[in-house]
A and B are shown apart, each in its own frame.
Chain A
Amino acid sequence: MKLAETAIEPVRKTRRVGLTSEEAFELFTRRLETWWPLSDHSVAGNDAVGVVFEERVGGRVLEKTRSGEVHSWADVFEWDPPHRFLLSWHPSATPVAASILEVVFEPAGSDHTVVTLEHRGWEALGEEKARTLRDRYDSGWEGVLDRFQESVGSAL
């Protein structure tokens, strides 16, 4: 599997939550299904009914659909509860176009946590979309996202 290079600036986001790092880590991973916006961000859109985070190195993040299909979003490369995990992220693509998703949980005081999410190599998502959509469009990058969202319903 070729991991995406990091010639492009990663996307990085930080949030502070009123949970211990153990609670925040568990909410993000084991209890992913209780909060992830599935209809907006999944392979199957409105037909996605669940998602499970397999809590180990080599585990996967698996979306389940109404019809029983399973889509793997990611492979767990690094697993270090309650501090950090790192995934090979390929939500609707073959592993050839994986990017890296790293989430770090840092305690801030006794009952707060700073959660930092970094998505590296995300430009690989664009290449994959260009490949799968190349028969459907002939415009530039502006059209990629519109067409992608039309055809797969706001999938990742």
Chain B
Amino acid sequence: MTALADDTRRSIFEIVQDGPRSVREITDLVSVSQPAVSQHLRILREAGLVEARAKGTRNIYSVSQRGLEPLREWVETVWEDVLDAFERAAEKKGRSE
């Protein structure tokens, strides 16, 4: 099962996308218990989608840049391809750089 296939887990991920949150803050925003939230966060962490850092006695969860690297690389490639094509068209039309 994928990390985002569960509706509650996806809601939790979207909450963390809004900004870094503690487990307690997340629990206040969803309709499941804190242990359940912690379980979902553990799965999101294992999937590389969120990361935690300690702040005093709490863990603050934020979106993991690292977990999204393969997707970022693909998005970069798409726009590289698109802009390469745009540049070629511009060269044909105008003065080449």
Contacts and interface: CB of A to CB of B under 8 A. Distances in A.
The 10 closest A-B pairs by CB, nearest first: A35-B89, A18-B95, A17-B90, A134-B5, A130-B4, A19-B94, A18-B94, A126-B71, A5-B17, A122-B75
A41 interface: yes
A95 to B, nearest CB: 15
Contacts of A123: 17, 63, 68, 71
A137 B70 CA distance: 16
A16 B80 CA distance: 13
A141 B95 contact: no
B76 A11 contact: yes
Interface majority SS on B: helix, strand, loop or mixed? helix
A150 interface: no
B72 interface: yes
Interface residues of B, number: 43
A46 to B, nearest CB: 16
Nearest to B48: A141
B68 A141 contact: yes
A19 B87 CA distance: 10
Interface string B5-30: 10000100100111100000000000
Contacts of A130: 2-5
B65 interface: yes
Contacts of A144: 70-71
Contact of B75 (A16, A18, A119, A127): A119
A27 B4 contact: no
A100 B72 CA distance: 15
Contacts of A138: 1-2
